Amino acid sequence: MRLSHLAGASLGAMVTQADLDNRFVYHAPLPGQTERYRSLRDQAKSLAEAIVAGTPESREQSLALTNLEQAIMWANAAIARNER
């Protein structure tokens, strides 16, 4: 489906063409961002290690790790997509 004719128009609940353009484009890191990405990942890795060390292998442990990965991905996306 071509959306070029919808530039600026709403495509659904609060989604605009500009939103889609921002979500699906490469965001090259700006000065200072790489260090913040690394800091967030390092802190998440420490928490992941604590989860693995402090919980039994289980579906719940796996979900905790997956959701931690998602949290860091979204935190990094917040930086990349909203700082220009």
- Average predicted confidence (pLDDT) for the chain: 90
Domain residues for the domain of 19 are 1-28
pLDDT digits (tens, 9 = 90+) for 14-25: 889 999 999 999
Q: With bands split at pLDDT 50, 70 and 90, how would you rate the model's confidence at 38?
A: very high
14 shares a domain with 46: no
35 shares a domain with 6: no
Q: With bands split at pLDDT 50, 70 and 90, how would you rate the model's confidence at 9?
A: low
State the DSSP string of 23-66.
Answer: HTS--PPPTTHHHHHHHHHHHHHHHHHHHHHHS-SSHHHHHHHH
Task: Tell me how far apart the alpha carbons of residues 51 and 45 are, in angstroms, rounded to a whole number.
Answer: 10
Tokens of 68: 């931690």
pLDDT digits (tens, 9 = 90+) for 62-71: 999 999 999 9
Spatial neighbors of 84 by CB under 8 A, at least 6 apart, are 30
44 shares a domain with 24: no
Number of domains in the chain: 2
40 shares a domain with 20: no
**Nearest 5°: phi and psi at 13?**
-60, 95
82 shares a domain with 46: yes
User: Which residues on neighbouring strands pair with residue 15, listed in sequence order?
Assistant: 12
- pLDDT(2) > 80: no
pTM to 2 decimals? Answer: 0.77
Query: What's the maximum distance between 2 C-alpha atoms anywhere in the chain?
Result: 53
65 shares a domain with 78: yes
41 shares a domain with 74: yes
